[in-house]
Amino acid sequence: MKKFLVLLLALVLVLALVACNDANETEETTDEVTTAEQTGNTDGTEESDESDESDTDEKDPFENMEVMSYDEYIAAELDSPVVIEAYVQATQSWWDNKITVYLQDEDGGYLAYEMVCSEEDAAKLVPGTKIQIKGYKTEWSGEVEIASGATFTFVEGADSYIAEPADLTDILANEAELIKHQNELAVFYNLVVEKIEYRNGEPGDDIYVTVKQGENSFSFCVERYLTAPETDVYKAFADIAVGDVVNIEGFVYWYNGVNTHITAVQTVMTHAEYVAAELESPVMIEAYVQATQSWWDNKITVYLQDADGGYLAYEMTCSEEDAAKLVPGTKIRIIGYKTEWSGEVEIASGATFTFVEGADSYIAEPADLTSILANEAELIKHQNELAVFKGLTIEKIEYRNGEPGDDIYVTVKQGENSFSFCVERYLTAPDTDVYKAFANLAAGDVVDITGFVYWYNGVNTHITGVTKVS
């Protein structure tokens, strides 16, 4: 009986231990299921620490961004998002839904590289058009630009703006200052061509143009996607040689230093090219001083000539020191605008000049134009040349203010035709022999007159010499 009780107790103890173990296993399983349900990990495997990004929308970096001023754009970090509004100045060729755009506003320039653009919209990106661009600011070999992949919209109802090229000639060699004008349209005057190379050895691709200013050389570029081989600026380089002096206009691009993308090039014109140039267009000529009017207020009017024809530079910018060097025969290079006033074609006030170092000298002999004085169509071809007219009869002599001291208006007759000539007091002053000579001339005298074929509503020769014949 005792033995039976011992066995019974042992059996109860075993059963109790089994029941306790089953209960523990059930509790652990329940805990695992609860954790899996909370995390969504229903297969019971360990959950990763990384969140599931596929269920989260990526934030738009341009959301709530304001349009930047030019200064804010410049101050922005590289590789940061930017939003700008500016005006198209030029574009490179469209391709594969991309286009590179040169832009500017009144504060500075921008380049948007390979901006996303349909072919239809590319046709609307004409100069002056205002657009808004969203993209990332980037830099490549010194060129700061809006990176490939930027998007744009047209700014509806906006005004138009075309930038005038800024004259940056004086800071071309000052990289710290020049880079502040990166991507702006600029002009550089009086550069000497040092080398011209076609990218693949012959026309069709980019043209690398090395120019010299003083002792410094600079690499410029005719970018074929901006100015294609069929454009005038591209073709012009076929006729430009090493040593030629040029004015270059273009966008101040950067590639390990300034690498202006050329949009226009101007060489020293022949007289025929000058005559053919449009009024109000820029001109660059080289010619020889024949005479000057009086210098005043940093301005001087100059009569010039070469072997092919004459020029007048009206109130050219000039220091008093340089004015003293403008002696007859001196060769100078003038940059300015061709203009016209009452028939007189001249280089407009404000033109600038440089002396052509080492040049020869040239003094024109007066051309005898007596036979074509009455033939205006032929005579005007000799405008501003030094000429002589022989056997003219004085019809009238008048002092501008009624007495000596100012201009003298001289009316001369040839056959039945009368012509108004002038003793210009700023060219031949009252103390000169030619001015004084008219005090001893009277109506009816026959004279030979030398002078520059100036024009004022018809020929109005500026007299430099007079000889009484009878």
- For the cut 80, the answer to whether the pLDDT of residue 317 exceeds it is yes
- Interval 371-420: pLDDT, tens: 999 999 999 999 999 999 999 999 999 999 999 999 999 999 999 999 99
Per-residue model confidence (pLDDT) at position 42: 36
- Interval 256-303: pLDDT, tens: 999 999 999 999 999 999 999 999 999 999 999 999 999 999 999 999
Per-residue model confidence (pLDDT) at position 58: 77
When pLDDT is averaged across residues 165-186 and rounded to a whole number, the result is: 98
Per-residue model confidence (pLDDT) at position 81: 98
CB-neighbour burial class of residue 191 (10 A; exposed 0-12, middle 13-18, buried 19+): buried
- Rounded CA gap, 79 and 146, in Å? 9
- Rounded CA gap, 86 and 255, in Å? 23
How many residues in the chain?
Answer: 470
> Rounded to 10 degrees, what is the CA torsion of 378, 379, 383, 386?
130
User: Residue holding tokens 């230093």?
Assistant: 257
When pLDDT is averaged across residues 328-343 and rounded to a whole number, the result is: 98
* CA triple 80-81-84, angle to 5 deg: 125
- For the cut 80, the answer to whether the pLDDT of residue 426 exceeds it is yes
- Rounded CA gap, 451 and 369, in Å? 11
Q: How far is CA 18 from CA 14, 30, 103, 236, 418, in A?
A: 6, 19, 86, 103, 143
Specify the pTM.
Answer: 0.79
